[in-house]
Amino acid sequence: MPLIVNGKPVSDEVLYAEFSSIKSYFESLGNVSCCERDEEFRGYARQNLIAKALLAEEAARRVAPPETADVDAAIETMKREQGDFQFAAMAATSPGELAGIRQEIAANLQTQKMLEELWRDLPEPTDEELRDYYDGHLPAFMSPEELRASHISKNPGHGENRESVYQELRTVRQKLLAGADFDEMAREHSDKGKEQIDLGFFKRGELPEEFELVAFSMEIGELSPVFASTYGFHITKVTARKAAAPKPFEEAKDFARQILVEERRKAKTQALVSELQGTARIEETVQESSFAV
């Protein structure tokens, strides 16, 4: 085993699952290329699982085990989130797996109850603290950039030649560059209907990615080349832009409170983990672990 916390081993499978979850998160942010940070993520995984083990052990000392009904309710929630079929498949992977799932859920409920008691006396952020946090972290409270655009869209029908549709829109674009009216050309050539010529204002993530990549790279009044998406071929013209800007304090206040409360809870929890880790027996035998390969 690569990791033993107070005599209780943490398996390679659990370590790898935690590592994979951490790596997937950083990949979703777009700041990971292949494997250059894997060792860093392995370190995060070990530390997370050490903290989890120590907190669960402390919770077992401080807090009574959850009621069977509470564990049942948590399992029903898991089934709803994962789907009955996926949950059943997970529970059937090995003998006793459902018992193991119940045990883990019970431990998590016990730990959560202990943490809620730990956080109970944390002070609520004052308005002055919220304002100071807001002023010092304005990038966290920005409204997203928005564009307004009009477009001409044509999706080749069944059996229709894609090349001919592409060439048709190329000809349309040349006429637009020569001064033709965009709305008039759209009504004549777009298959989306006149009510969908003007798309109104939209943020990133609201339209197909291929469309947004083009539109958000353009300036106001600029005409795009003909480009393709899963919905066909397009020409778009950006007509207005709302730059990202800080939300007013009163609008951002609740989010600032949420962040500060979470930071204080994390600090309180980490202080307990550090205290527990100071007397814990933590053994690592990384050389023998497939997790380190």
**For residues 61-75, average pLDDT:** 94
Judgement on whether residues 256 and 233 belong to the same structural domain of the protein: no
Judgement on whether residues 195 and 258 belong to the same structural domain of the protein: no
DSSP secondary structure of the chain: --EEETTEEE-HHHHHHHHHHHHHHHHHTT---TTTTHHHHHHHHHHHHHHHHHHHHHHHHHSPPPPHHHHHHHHHHHHHHH-HHHHHHHHTSSTTHHHHHHHHHHHHHHHHHHHHHHHTTPPPPPHHHHHHHHHHTGGGGEEPPEEEEEEEEE---TT--HHHHHHHHHHHHHHHHTT--HHHHHHHH-SS-GGGSEEEEEETTSS-HHHHHHHTTSPTTPBPPPEEETTEEEEEEEEEEE--EEPPHHHHHHHHHHHHHHHHHHHHHHHHHHHHHHH--EEE-GGG-GGG-
Of the candidates 24, 27, 70, 19, the residue with the CA atom closest to the CA atom of residue 47: 19
Judgement on whether residues 157 and 103 belong to the same structural domain of the protein: no
Judgement on whether residues 88 and 19 belong to the same structural domain of the protein: yes
pLDDT at residue 96 in the model: 63
Confidence grade of residue 287 (pLDDT, cut at 50, 70, 90) = low
Give a yes or no: residue 132 inside a domain: no
Give a yes or no: residue 133 inside a domain: no
Q: Which of 99-103, 214-218, 224-228 has the lowest mean pLDDT?
A: 99-103
Judgement on whether residues 116 and 23 belong to the same structural domain of the protein: yes
Could you give the number of structural domains in the chain?
2
- Which residues span the domain enclosing 95? 3-125+252-292
The pTM assigned to this predicted structure is 0.70
Judgement on whether residues 159 and 88 belong to the same structural domain of the protein: no
Please state, in angstroms and rounded to a whole number, the distance separating the CA atoms of residues 164 and 171. 11
Confidence grade of residue 290 (pLDDT, cut at 50, 70, 90) = low
Give a yes or no: residue 99 inside a domain: yes
Judgement on whether residues 178 and 197 belong to the same structural domain of the protein: yes
**Domain holding 199: CATH number?**
3.10.50.40
Give a yes or no: residue 201 inside a domain: yes
Please state, in angstroms and rounded to a whole number, the distance separating the CA atoms of residues 172 and 152. 9
Q: What number of residues does the chain have?
A: 293
Give a yes or no: residue 287 inside a domain: yes
Of the candidates 150, 252, 166, 161, the residue with the CA atom closest to the CA atom of residue 201: 150
pLDDT at residue 291 in the model: 55
Of the candidates 244, 222, 247, 248, the residue with the CA atom closest to the CA atom of residue 235: 222
Judgement on whether residues 112 and 163 belong to the same structural domain of the protein: no
Give a yes or no: residue 64 inside a domain: yes
**For residues 75-83, average pLDDT:** 87
Query: In the chain, what is the straight-line distance between the N-terminal and C-terminal CA atoms, in Å?
Result: 14
Mention every residue, 6+ apart, whose C-beta is less than 8 A from residue 118. Answer: 268, 269, 272
**Domain holding 65: CATH number?**
1.10.4030.10
Judgement on whether residues 161 and 111 belong to the same structural domain of the protein: no
CB burial of 224-260 (b: ≥16 within 10 Å; e: otherwise) equals bebbebeebbbbbbbbebeeeeeeeeeebbeebbebb
> Average pLDDT of the chain?
90
Give a yes or no: residue 185 inside a domain: yes
Of the candidates 104, 102, 114, 110, the residue with the CA atom closest to the CA atom of residue 65: 110
Judgement on whether residues 256 and 200 belong to the same structural domain of the protein: no
Judgement on whether residues 61 and 150 belong to the same structural domain of the protein: no
Cα dist from 144 to 3, 141, 151, 204, 255, whole Å: 44, 9, 22, 8, 15
Judgement on whether residues 36 and 92 belong to the same structural domain of the protein: yes
Pick the last residue of a domain from 243, 261, 281. 243
Summarize pLDDT for 248-286 with one digit per residue, the tens.
Answer: 999 999 999 999 999 999 999 999 999 999 999 999 875
Give a yes or no: residue 106 inside a domain: yes
